[in-house]
Structure 1
Amino acid sequence: MSAQERGRGPIRVPRWPSAATGEPDFAAIRAEFEVPEEFPPDVLAEAETAAREPQLPELDATDLPLVTLDPVGSRDLDQAVHLAAREGGYRVSYAIADVGAFVRLGGPVDREARRRGQTLYSPDRRTPLHPPVLSEDAASLLPDVLRPAVLWTIDLDADGEPVRLELRRARVRSRAQLDYPSVQAQADAGTLPEPLALLPEIGRLLQRRAAERGAVELGTPEQEVVAAPGGGWTLELRGDLAVEGWNAEISLLTGRCAAALMLEAGVGLLRTLPPARPEDVDRLRLLAPALDVAWPPGTAPGQVISGVNPARPAHAAFLEEAATLLRGAAYTPFDGAPPEQPVHSGVAAPYAHVTAPLRRLVDRFGTEVCLALSAGREPEDELRAALPDLPPLMATSDRRTRDVERAAIDATEAWLLRGREGEIFSAVVVDAGNGRGTVALDGLAIRGRCEGAALAPGTRVRVRLEAADVADRSVRFRLAEAS
């Protein structure tokens, strides 16, 4: 079930006015966590040469009216889509930016991309995986320009199951660059453009199939640092629009097809997640009644989670606890025998990352493996040899990204609350134990550690701000009284 169908959509909270000078220093945070900033000269030179001389495939798919769908203002456009009905089902045409057409294995751009791992988004700037001449121009699927792409053609039956797959390099031309809020408004009004007219129907169908498989999607709103209208920074909570959920299903579908190709051939790189531990499921099931969450006998955790409403405090606390079910994600390379555990339990199927090569390192390698296999060829030795190197590179990149994002949010929280020590706030307890917990302030996208013996998940409380330390990037509350 999509976010909007659960009554969420983007969650707007009041913008807190700047309370003091001295904004959070996001550049210092990036430096602390050693985020690569400028590209070396040899990387820029190779990228500029590749951008001037793109390798355009022979297959001409410019007659396909593809469109891109991304956040407002995006320039690194990885995917363009066209959805159509066919006899007995649907056809998904999904063009992915062909980064492999620009990046030479072992070359300067490839080496720098391995060092970076992924594009990192800070509140004040984007630190790209590839030089902007590629990621925001020559390789990006911008509208009305000829681009090399990897075109996935996936035929689905009436139940949303893949029945045919074709994968080829092709030259494409996107017709339009669309954004989520505008497309959501069109979906609500029943005026979606032809390439996306079937997005609600196919998206909902794939969501139902995922729920039946036992997929788990938490769908909790995320804290986001954004520029305040009057200057400075503030925090917002953001929940996905329905169209974002439907669009994500197209990407997940493609990743499942990629994994199936790899597993059949015995070579590739999967994104895996082990099944939830039985003790974690049992603990969550025992907690559900206290948080007013219905868990009928025989119902899988994913189905229970899909029915909760994050806007309700008790349900938000339940989702916080449910995150324990999704621990242990990894990249799993294999060459020969398939891995013992090939499934991504959040997707409830084998799955591979192949749809965001401009922003994530592994997708380029997974795509090249799939292109070779689809053409009946063995992947090149150099490509195969690189697969075991990618998991540690991505683990380092993922950790750095999480650290930077968390530090930026923590610094902004402390900055917004600075000078308000001693004030009382209404809040919801999202987790607690041993006299400590985490509270989310009502009406504000701010969380903090709280002390108090009476803290219980899902309850509303009043808390006193004890400290807001910008240098330490921390806020601390103490339970004032139950409300």
Structure 2
Amino acid sequence: MPRRHLHMTGADGAALRTALRELRTRLDVPAQFPTAVLAEAEQAAAHPRLPSTDVTGIPFFTLDPPESVDLDQAMHLAKRPSGGYRVHYAIADVAAFVTPGGALDAEAHRRVTTLYFPDEKVPLHPVALSEGAASLLPDRTRPALVWRLDLDSDGRVETAEVRRALVRSRAKLDYAGVQEAIDSGTAEEPVALLKVIGTLRETLEAERGGISLGVPEQEVVEQDGSYSLTYRAPLPADGWNAQISLMTGMAAADLMLAAGSGILRTLPSAPDGAVGRLRRAAKALRIDWPHHVPYAELVRSLDPRRPDHAAFLQECTTLLRGAGYTSFTGGQTPDPLLHAAVAAPYAHCTAPLRRLVDRYAGELCLAASAGVEPPQWAVGALGTLPHEMEEGTRRANAAERECVDLVEAALLKDRVGETFEATVIDIKDHEPGVGTVHLEDPAVVGRVESPTAELPLGERIRVRLTRADPGTAKILFTPA
């Protein structure tokens, strides 16, 4: 699911780094790993629990941003002789390194997720594992949970199974390189099939009423000795890769539901008024949204490279609020059951290096696929895991929001009093003088207050920056 990504490029400012350190202190973000945890991680890295099955002959590849080294997934895509496709999807086997009840396990439950800041990340596991022994780095033999998903010619999953095995990635690929190879026709078949299968899965997503948001990444870039905010639009390859992960998460949910025990990622339908608010934003940004066109169809028509579409896609993330986790045992039917954006039961299981719940979901899926009882350490955690994940996700979301506010305020603090071109994309229902404006340059979305007049929804206006305080991470505009 989409998140607002934010990272720094070029020469990073010392003042901004200081403010980000203070933010981590304010949010009580875990800092260094305790000595006992680091020692256990080093021991586990040297002596993991390895499976007997070996599939290192399959030429897996990874697809991630070029700077990533915590590699959770590797894939191999092929055509089936009888028709359709076979997807092998390897997921890092964190349980091969983490002993239930040990120091590593306890620390992972304290951290819950990897936290990303513009200047650094705060990992879920020590780097000896997350960027070393457990990461699916190229030309390294690693323990993994290997999914085999057989698809028909339309991309529908016919069979799904998962087992432990040793794998060996052959290549670490990045989105831009894969996109260029596919577009130019030079991609080898396992890579070229990413577009074929990804496109088929996008069609199926549309048929079932699901939606994936191509939310642009917000970047801090250095320009002529100063800093600016810009957007990086995702490539089609980003979406095709996401479809492989979504497909696996749906297969995991089906396995756990059939076995009667598991944990799902769930999302309720959008609350009353949420879609109406988006229609106002679309009107404000002059995006044509006929009343007979469903929301999902509109989103699929947008181009995240366009500033107005990028702003609208950011607003669309408001429909994803309320996501949570639902666990179940004893054959119960989970309530809620569905993830509204996926439009199907869905589970987080493909990022165990960065998310606590995925290790448990993977273990439950292994047992369900083999038709055996899952280990007690996995089942026993289902009562508390949803709450732990929701608390961890809440902290991650708070860090993300405050990072965006902080960076915007830090980059604009010397421009108080300047005027900018902006579009009014929202106004408060009962306070028509208070709303939100979208600036294209720099790429900022901020609060605007008009003390004397109603804001003109959808109109381009000039606004004056009246406050940019990195200490409070707040910016404020008024009509110029």
Q: TM-score when scaled to structure 1? A: 0.90
Letter in 1 for 2:151: L
1:70-97 deviations in whole A, cap 9, x for unaligned? 0112110000001111122111110000
Structure-2 residue corresponding to 1:446: 444
Q: Is the 8 A contact 2:45 2:129 kept in 1?
A: yes
- Residue matched to 2:419: 424
Structure 2 match to 1:173:
168
Residue 6 of structure 1 aligns with which residue? none
Judge conservation of contact 2:285–2:425 (CA < 8 Å) in 1.
no
Distance 1:22 1:118 in 2: 24
What is the distance in 2 between the residues matched to 1:305 and 1:148?
Answer: 39
* Counterpart mapping for 1:236-385 below 5 A: 236-277=230-271, 279-281=273-275, 284=278, 292-295=286-289, 299-310=293-304, 315=309, 318-319=312-313, 321-336=315-330, 337-385=332-380
Q: 1:457 to 1:20 in 2, by over 3 A?
A: farther
Contact 1:267/1:338 (8 A) holds in 2: no
* Aligned-residue offset at 1:18: 9.0
Question: In structure 2, do the counterparts of structure 1 residues 319 and 107 end up closer, same or farther at CA, with 3 Å as the change threshold?
Answer: same
Q: Residue 267 of structure 2 contacts residue 323 of structure 2 at CA under 8 Å; is this kept in 1?
A: yes
Q: SS where residue 388 of structure 1 aligns?
A: coil
Letter in 2 for 1:179: D
Distance across 1 between alignment mates of 2:283 and 2:198: 31
CA contact (8 A) 2:419 2:462 kept: yes
- Contact kept? 1:20, 1:418, Cα under 8 Å: no
- List alignment gaps of at least 5 residues for structure 1: 3-9
Using the TM superposition, give the Cα deviation of residue 19 of structure 1 relative to its aligned residue in structure 2, in angstroms.
9.9
Residue of structure 2 equivalent to 1:207: 202
CA RMSD after TM alignment: 2.8
Q: Check conservation: 2:92, 2:136, Cα contact below 8 A.
A: yes
Per the alignment, residue 52 of structure 2 pairs with: 58
Bigger drift between 205-214 and 411-420 goes to 411-420
Residue aligned with 1:350, SS:
coil
Distance 1:408 1:92 in 2: 37
The equivalences for 1:2-17 within 5 A come to none
Any idea what SS the aligned residue of 1:475 has? strand
Q: Is 2:405 aligned against 1:410?
A: yes
Summarize the alignment of residues 43-192 of structure 1 with structure 2, pairs less than 5 Å apart: 43-86=37-80, 87-192=82-187
CA contact (8 A) 1:139 1:148 kept: yes
The one-letter amino acid of 1:439's match is V
Separation of aligned partners in 2, 1:415 and 1:340: 43
- Whether the aligned pair in 2 keeps the contact of 1:19 and 1:418 (CA below 8 Å) is no
Cα offset, 1:436, TM superposition: 1.2
Query: Are 2:212 and 1:195 equivalent residues in the alignment?
Result: no
Of stretches 465-474 and 354-363 in structure 1, the one that deviates more from structure 2 is 465-474
Mean Cα deviation higher: 128-137 or 469-478:
469-478
Give the conservation status (yes or no) of the 8 Å contact 1:354–1:362.
yes
Structure 2 unaligned blocks of 5 or more: none
- Whole-angstrom distance in 2 between the partners of 1:457 and 1:376: 58
Matched AA of 1:216: I
Rounded Cα–Cα distance in structure 2 between residues aligned with 1:317 and 1:136: 34
Contact 1:141–1:174 (8 Å) recurs in 2: yes
Alignment partners' CA distance in 2, 1:463 and 1:25: 26
Paired residue type of 1:379 = P
SS of the aligned residue for 1:372 comes to helix
Query: 1:383: Cα distance to partner?
Result: 1.4
Partner residue of 1:467? Answer: 467
Q: Equivalent residue for 1:217?
A: 212
Distance 1:17 1:419, change over 3 A: farther
- Identity percentage over the alignment? 52
What TM-score do you get using the length of structure 2 for normalisation? 0.91
Query: Which 10-residue stretch deviates more, 63-72 or 403-412?
Result: 403-412
Please report how far the alpha carbon of residue 313 of structure 1 lies from its aligned counterpart in structure 2 after TM superposition.
Answer: 6.2
Judged with a 3 Å threshold, the aligned counterparts in structure 2 of structure 1 residues 192 and 134 are, in CA distance, closer, same or farther, namely same
1:138-165 Cα shifts (integer Å, max 9, x gaps) = 0000111111111000001111110011
1:478 paired with 2:472, answer no
3-state SS of 2:181 partner: helix
Cα deviation digits, residues 399-436 of structure 1 (max 9, x gap): 21122222222222122212222211111223222211
Distance in 2 separating the partners of 1:19 and 1:136: 26
Aligned equivalents of 2:13, 2:195: Cα separation in 1:
43
Using the alignment, how far apart are the partners of 1:138 and 1:20 within structure 2?
33
Q: Confirm or deny that 1:25 pairs with 2:23.
A: no
Displacement of 1:222: 3.6
> How far apart are residue 119 of structure 1 and its match?
0.8
Q: What displacement does 1:271 show?
A: 0.2
The whole-number CA distance in structure 1 between the counterparts of 2:380 and 2:187 is 45
Q: Give the distance between the partners of 2:12 and 2:170, measured in 1 at CA.
A: 41
CA distance 1:222–1:455, shift in 2 (3 Å): farther
Output the CA distance in 1 between the equivalents of 2:209 and 2:141: 40
The residue type equivalent to 1:340 in the other structure is: D
Is 1:95–1:150's contact at 8 Å kept on the other side of the alignment?
yes
CA 126–290 in structure 1, closer or farther in 2 if over 3 Å, else same? closer
**Secondary structure of 1:405's match?**
helix
Partner of 2:434: 436
- Provide the C-alpha distance between the structure 2 equivalents of 1:422 and 1:119, rounded to a whole number of angstroms: 38
Q: Which amino acid aligns with 1:240?
A: P
Q: Which amino acid aligns with 2:138?
A: P
Q: Distance in 1 between matches of 2:328 and 2:65?
A: 34
Q: 1:440 to 1:104 in 2, by over 3 A?
A: same
- What is the aligned length? 470
Corresponding letter in the other structure for 2:240 = W
